[in-house]
Amino acid sequence: MPPEGGSRGKPCRNSHDDVVRPEPADVSCRGERSTFRGPELSNSLMHGKAPKEYLSLWSVIALGIGSMVGAGIFALMGQATLMAGKNVYWSFLLGGAAALLSGYTYAKLGSRYPGSGGIMDYFNQAFSHKTLSGALTLIYLGTLVITVALVAKSFGAYASRLFLPDGMVSMYSTALFASVAILLLGALNMGGAKAVGKSEVVMVAFKLLILTVLMLASFGSTVPVGADPIPVKGLDGLLGSVGLTFFAFAGYGMMANTAGNLKNPAKTLPKAIFLAIGIVLVLYLVLSYVVLSNVPATSLESHTETAVAQAAYPVLGVWGFMAVSVAALIATASAINATMFSMLDISRALAHNGQLGAIFKRPFWGNGTEGFFYLLLGILVMTNAFNLVAIANLAGACFLISYLAVFVAHWRLRKETKGNILLIILGFLLMLFILGAFFYQMFFSQPYLIPLIVLFVAACFVLEFLIRRKMAKTAASKAP
């Protein structure tokens, strides 16, 4: 993020479209890292280096699908189904509609500002008050931290079911496996290892293959005779679950970061985002059918965190359960690694621009910083202090707040992006409604989370205000 009053470099016109392409000198780090691509490509995009060739339409679609069909569906399918019951189909449809409208906003902003810093740069472009844009960026960084805790918790749940007998599976075993994943992948990121990213494509292909086999095997299956099927839940459960199902689509924002690597971003990016979200929506609806068809209500309540793997038992047996669990471990580990990679880059860039304290650029070990190490400690505390449902609610609410702010940014930039006013307003109102319903559900189920979210948002604004005041005092003391 550029300092207040700074410039991101002279914009230059591209001959094939009407977009602004900033020079790479001040391009900030990418906030939304795919779980599909490796660090090599990510670094190329992040630092504004031109790729050897343009990305194709289907390459961008693959990046989006790989990002969306990640840990979220493995972690949240069971919880969303538990809340909405057989209405989970409608929950995913509403979450998908919100994602499509938000995707329109990302497509317009990404097309107008390709090669920029993603969500962080949109805030900088839209809000002249740097305390506001900086605080929104800190909220997004905090959302990534919470997301790592959620995904690590899901990793721990699947690892416990896969490696331990049922009698030994507990909240403590889940926390142990989750903590080990956080420490190992945190060390991997600080060590600067690049080999992990090279296997991302294979990981995503394996994950989709396993899910496809599960879906094909499940057609025509029903809950065993004598078992209690998952019931239809009320409207409050349906609306409250949409915040979670929207979170399962949240990775589409990453696709906007590829705009600078498209030959014609104004044409390719919207098409790629809409196709990717549409494909993923169909996949989620089919997976909902699989869970509803194969998992009894009592089993869903006792195995909420591993519902997708549980659904494999009736149709694929123990080997199917193991295969889906392995796919879940791959997806969650990949997502943790990618999100940590983003956290490290974003926090270091913000520190260099005066947005965060010096500890976030002070070397700690390898490629890591002291600030990143403290973030890891915070993730460990959150993972062990809260259950998966609580962390999922925190992550879902913070993502909704961040993406809601993107609608506001798009509204302020609507003339530059030539955005459709009706779609911007409709998307904003739908996401605001989802956020309100999400808070309403939390008020009755986990009311203590609401003041935590308010405190987190307020802390980001206070921290940014203090940082800006310190920067102003430092600049004044250096002035002649």
- Give the DSSP per-residue string, 202-236: HHHHHHHHHHHHHHHHHTT--PPTTSPPPPBP-HH
pLDDT of residue 344: 75
Q: Does the pLDDT value for residue 428 go beyond 90?
A: yes
What are the pLDDT digits (tens) for 311-352? 777 777 778 778 888 888 887 887 777 777 777 777 777 777
More confident residue, 435 or 16: 435
**How many distinct structural domains can be found in the chain?**
1
Report yes or no on 451 lying in a domain.
yes
Select from 6, 26, 29 the least CA-distant residue to 360: 29
Is residue 267 in a domain?
Answer: yes
**CA distance to 13, 63, 101, 221, per residue, from 66 (Å):** 32, 5, 20, 28
Beta bridge partners of 369: 363
Residue 391 lies in a domain: yes
pLDDT in tens, 202-225: 666 676 777 777 777 666 555 554
Residue 52 has pLDDT above 80, yes or no: no
Work out the average pLDDT over 164-190: 82
Q: Is residue 361 part of a domain?
A: yes
Least confident residue range of 87-96, 251-260, 441-450, 459-468: 251-260
Structural domain that includes position 151: 57-473
Nearest CA to 262 out of 61, 28, 30, 31 is that of 61
Inside any domain, residue 194:
yes
Residue 246 maps to a domain: yes
What's the mean pLDDT when you consider all of the chain?
76
480/456 Cα distance (integer angstroms): 39
Residue 40 domain-assigned? no
Q: Report whether pLDDT(83) > 90.
A: no
Q: What is the DSSP string of 282-306?
A: HHHHHHHHHHHHH--HHHHHHSGGG
Residue 28 lies in a domain: no
pLDDT of 195 higher than 70: no
- Write the CATH number for 357: 1.20.1740.10
| pLDDT value for 325 | 82
Tell me the C-alpha distance between 337 and 187, whole Å: 10
